[in-house]
C-alpha cells in the first residue's frame, strides 16, 4: 500500500519530537516494600523526524509498547527505546511515563494507616551519545515560616508545599544505579518542616503541628537541604530540586530551584 508518511517533504525542517501523548496504560513498577506495584501511567512517546520524511507511523508506537508491556522501570525502558528506533528508523527516541505511586503510611502517634499517593515519572531518552534515564518524584510537605514564627507574639503561618526531585542515576555496566522512589520521598520530607499524611487522629495532628513549629523552614532552606543530600549520594549523576510553597497568607506561591551534576536534566 502507498506509504504517505515516507513521502518527501519540501519544507526542509527537522522535527525534534513527534509521537503520541496522553496514552493511558497499565504498568508494573518496583516497590521497595512489596517488590512490585501495579499502577496506571500516562505515556508520551516520541522520536525525531528527519526533514526528508513527511510523517512518522503512529501505530508503531503502540506496537512497541505492547511488545514491552508489563514492567516499566529504569532497567526495561532502554529496550523499548531501541525498539522504537528500529521500528521508526529514528536517531533519537524519548519515552515519558507519569503515574501515581502509593505507599501505606502510618500516623506518627496513633499508628493509623492509610494510602498516600505521589506523582512520579520515568523519563528515558536514547540519542547517538547514549541512553539517559531520569526518575521524578513530587512530594507534598508542610512548611512553617521562620520569619512569621520570629516576629509573632504567638503562632506562625504554615502552608502545604511540594518538593519535586528529578534525579539522573549514575550509569553502570548493568544500567542505571538503583534509586528507590521511597528514598526520594524520605529526602523531600526531611527537607521540610513536617510530612503530610492521608490520615491523622487528634494526637497525630497535635504531633505534626508541633513538629512543624519546631522545624521552621523557608523555601530556600528546603531546596538547599534536599540538594545537599542528593549531592553527596554516589548513585546520583545529576539532579534538579524544585520546591514550591502554596502560601497561606499571600495570593501567590514561593519557589526555589537548584540543579547539580549533569546539565541535561
At residue 237's C-alpha, the angle toward residues 21 and 221, to 5°, is 90
Beta-strand relationship, 93-106 and 130-144: unpaired
Q: What whole-number distance in Å separates Cα of residue 45 and Cα of residue 54?
A: 18
Judge whether residue 8 has pLDDT over 90: no
Distance CA 247, CA 158 (A): 8
- Tens-place pLDDT, residues 52-98: 777 677 888 899 888 888 788 888 888 899 998 888 888 899 999 99
Asked if 216 contacts 145 with a C-beta cutoff of 8 angstroms, the reply is yes
CATH of 15-261, one of 3.40.50.10190, 3.90.1300.10, 3.10.20.600, 3.10.270.10: 3.10.270.10
Q: What is the pLDDT of residues 109-147, one digit of tens each?
A: 999 999 999 999 999 999 988 889 999 999 999 999 999
User: Considering just the CA atoms, what is the radius of gyration of the chain in Å?
Assistant: 22
- Confidence band for 242, pLDDT divided at 50, 70 and 90: very high
Round to whole Å and give the CA distance between 133 and 176: 7
Tens digit of pLDDT for each residue in 113-122? 999 999 999 9
Amino acid at each position: 500500500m502507498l506509504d504517505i508518511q515516507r513521502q518527501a517533504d519540501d519544507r526542509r525542517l527537522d522535527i525534534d519530537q513527534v509521537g503520541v501523548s496522553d496514552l493511558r496504560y497499565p504498568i508494573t513498577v518496583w516497590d521497595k516494600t512489596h517488590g512490585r506495584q501495579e499502577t496506571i501511567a500516562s505515556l508520551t512517546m516520541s522520536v525525531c523526524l528527519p526533514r526528508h520524511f513527511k510523517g512518522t507511523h503512529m501505530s508503531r508506537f503502540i506496537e512497541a509498547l505492547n511488545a514491552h508491556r508489563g514492567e516499566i522501570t529504569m532497567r526495561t525502558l532502554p529496550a523499548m527505546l531501541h525498539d522504537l528506533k528500529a521500528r521508526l528508523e529514528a536517531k533519537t527516541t524519548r519515552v515519558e511515563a507519569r503515574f501515581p505511586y502509593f505507599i501505606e503510611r502510618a500516623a506518627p502517634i496513633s499508628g493509623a494507616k492509610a494510602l498516600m499517593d505521589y506523582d512520579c515519572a520515568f523519563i528515558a531518552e536514547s540519542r547517538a551519545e547514549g541512553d539517559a534515564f531520569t526518575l521524578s518524584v513530587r512530594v507534598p510537605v508542610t512548611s512553617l515560616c521562620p520569619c512569621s514564627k520570629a516576629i509573632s507574639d504567638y503562632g506562625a503561618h504554615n502552608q502545604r508545599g511540594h518538593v519535586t526531585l528529578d534525579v539522573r542515576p549514575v550509569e553502570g555496566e548493568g544500567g542505571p544505579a538503583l534509586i528507590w522512589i521511597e528514598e526520594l520521598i524520605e529526602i523531600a520530607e526531611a527537607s521540610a518542616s513536617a510530612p503530610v499524611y492521608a490520615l491523622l487522629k487528634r494526637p497525630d495532628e497535635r504531633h505534626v503541628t508541633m513538629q512543624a513549629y519546631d522545624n521552621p523552614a523557608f523555601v530556600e532552606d528546603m531546596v538547599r537541604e534536599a540538594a545537599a543530600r542528593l549531592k553527596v549520594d554516589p548513585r546520583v549523576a545529576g539532579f534538579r530540586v524544585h520546591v514550591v510553597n502554596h502560601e497561606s497568607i499571600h495570593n501567590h506561591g514561593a519557589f526555589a530551584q537548584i540543579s547539580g551534576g549533569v546539565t541535561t536534566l
